[in-house]
Amino acid sequence: MMESYILIFFIVIFLGIIFGVRDREILFCSLNAIISQGAFLGMRADFPLALCTFTASLLIGIFAYSRFKLARVPLQVSVLPPMILLVPGSIGYRMMEGFIAKDSINATTLGFEMLFAASGIVFGGMLAEVLLFEDMEL
């Protein structure tokens, strides 16, 4: 389990470098990703994928909005690197493989699972915005 957190730390550092995040903010992005992915991985055994991605996305959003409020860091800097780890790309790949192999029932199931996971990401971010965006200046 510790290997997962170390891997998440380095992945977010590399994504932060790609997105041009400042040095100090990369560490906060990594902390955000480790916390949100810890919640995601901890919930994954007992809860559906959509609820896990919703919770992790909500944590990412709350952290990003609090960084925006306290340190005036643009939201995209704190949101993008950790949020990319939640995107259900492997599910989409397996879904397309299922359609190619003419296993349409399994592929459709995976498609809906991917849709619900993506919806969880969107709604978690939206809820964080609704909860914390009350009087912020842009």
Cα–Cα distance measured from residue 37 to residue 55, given in angstroms and rounded to the nearest whole number: 10
The predicted-structure confidence for 121-134, as pLDDT tens digits, reads as follows 999 989 988 887 76
Q: What is the pLDDT of residue 137?
A: 58
Contact 31, 78 (CB under 8 A): no
Q: Output the average pLDDT for the chain.
A: 88
Alpha carbons 136 and 72: distance in angstroms, whole number: 10
Contact 52, 44 (CB under 8 A): yes
Per-residue pLDDT of 64-96, as tens digits, reads: 888 888 888 888 888 888 888 888 888 989 999
The domain spans of the chain are 2-132
- The CA distance from 125 to 59, in Å, is 8
